[in-house]
Amino acid sequence: MSANRINHKVNHVSLVVDRSGSMRQHESQLVRVVDEFVKGLQEESDRLGHETRISLYAFDHEVQNLVWDMDVKHLPSLKGLYKVDNGATALIEAAVKSVDDLKNIWEGYGEHSFLQVVVTDGEENASGCSEIGKMHTRMGGEKGSAVLRSWMDRIHGAMDNLPDHWTSAILVPNSLAKRTAQEYGFPAGNIAIWDADSSKGVEEAIGTVKTAATSFLRGREQGLRGTKNLFTMGQDLNTAEVKANLDALDAGKYILVPVDQQLPIREFVTSAGHTYKTGCAFYELSKREKIQGRKQLAVAEKDPATGRMTGRVFSGPAARQLLGLPESEVTVKPGENPSYTVFVQSTSVNRKLVLGTKLLVLL
């Protein structure tokens, strides 16, 4: 007697969070927003019919696993699990341990994908501390350099040998840390910068992770198993979802204007012969931007063969959810999509437009 098998999608998400002393100002907020992140994974997994399992790690000069490959539906609050210590930052060791641990998961059945996201507010200075009893930055000289080089070799080996269905990403506090993360082997498109000094920084950081993870899960439906452009938005939009969830705007009620002058947005709209009203203009998402929770979004259709916009525009209340954005402020950058371009509502009168893009103006 034969029977059909269920070949389901299994997502293994590993969130690796810094708990060194400098994270103390973010401790309570981090617990709350990570809980929201997990809830978002639960909801999206239910909607898509995926099984999503999560591991949580915390690190200072030591690395500790808090949760191991647990179904997100059963994960309790991070409250009582995550506690900031006064230690240093074993960033490399934490990333390597997470990857090494996940490699122990058996993949014999089902379609598995692995997503690791590291969140840190500082620079590596303590990997190997648990083995040598002191931070390599305090050893100084040739000994300290040798310890750091050995850990650099280990993370290069871990990142260079990841299979195509693995994605490793990191959030760092500044441009210098981003360059360092690239030296470790994290792909440039999987590195995002967060504001570690802001009271809203953690919320924005985990919001960025939530948006990326939601987009990743949706991309799995299109055959995506791994990516080197995790922190982008819109690359997974498809015609069926756009037409099912958004409304086609009346062609006589908007215009797409090529940006050929670097003028403030209000001046640009009025110089093109149109009345400017707050919220009537949507700029083309062409670079990394902060998008506030109240901003509306629209998508313009493109001809996949030529890359030119067809003139058809879609929008509606479901646009944020379709693009994987939370209802709070989040930082995103545009992904490559052959069929759609994302536009974001502007409520400013002074926004500087980017030459070569287009502006969507509601008439």
**Structure tokens that stand for 327 in this block:** 């209802």
Contact 234, 323 (CB under 8 A): yes
DSSP classification of residue 74:
G
d(CA 242, CA 218): 13
The answer to whether the beta carbons of residues 98 and 55 sit under 8 Å apart is yes
Q: How many residues does the chain have?
A: 363
| CA distances (Å), origin 313, targets 218, 254, 280, 360 | 22, 9, 14, 9
What are the strands, taking DSSP E only, across 60-181?
63-71, 111-119, 166-172
Integer Cα distance of 136 and 147 in angstroms: 6
In the β-sheet with 254-258, what is the strand arrangement from edge to edge? 247-248, 309-315, 297-302, 340-346, 281-284, 358-362, 254-258
Question: What domains does the chain contain, in order, with CATH numbers?
Answer: 9-220 (3.40.50.410), 239-362 (no CATH)
Q: Any residues with CB less than 8 A from the CB of 267 and at least 6 apart, and which?
A: none
CA distance 246 to 231: 23
Q: Residue 330 has what pLDDT?
A: 77
Parallel/antiparallel/unpaired status of strands 111-119 and 166-172:
parallel
Q: Are strands 9-18 and 111-119 parallel, antiparallel or unpaired?
A: parallel
Q: What is the DSSP letter of 190?
A: G
Is 312:301 a contact under the CB 8 Å cutoff?
A: yes
Query: What local confidence, expressed as pLDDT, does residue 128 receive?
Result: 86
Encode the chain (363 residues) as per-residue pLDDT tens digits: 456 666 789 999 999 999 999 999 988 888 888 888 888 889 889 989 999 999 999 999 999 999 999 999 999 888 888 999 888 999 999 999 999 999 999 999 889 999 999 999 998 988 988 777 666 766 666 777 888 889 999 999 999 889 999 999 999 999 899 999 999 999 988 998 888 888 788 888 888 888 888 888 888 887 889 888 888 878 778 898 899 999 999 999 999 999 999 899 999 999 999 999 999 999 999 988 888 888 999 999 999 999 999 999 999 999 988 887 777 777 788 888 889 999 999 999 999 999 999 999 999
Measured in degrees and rounded to the nearest 5, phi and psi for residue 251 equal -60, -25
Q: What is the pTM of this model?
A: 0.78
List b or e across 195-227, with b for residues whose CB sees 16 or more CB atoms inside 10 angstroms. Answer: bbeeeebbbbbbbbbbbbbbbbbbbbeeebbbb
pLDDT recorded at residue 311:
94
Cβ-contact 329, 207 below 8 angstroms: yes
**Ramachandran angles phi, psi of 308, nearest 5°:** -90, 145
Q: In which element (H, E) is residue 54 found?
A: strand 51-59
Contacts of 104 (CB under 8 A, 6+ apart): none
pLDDT at 63: 95
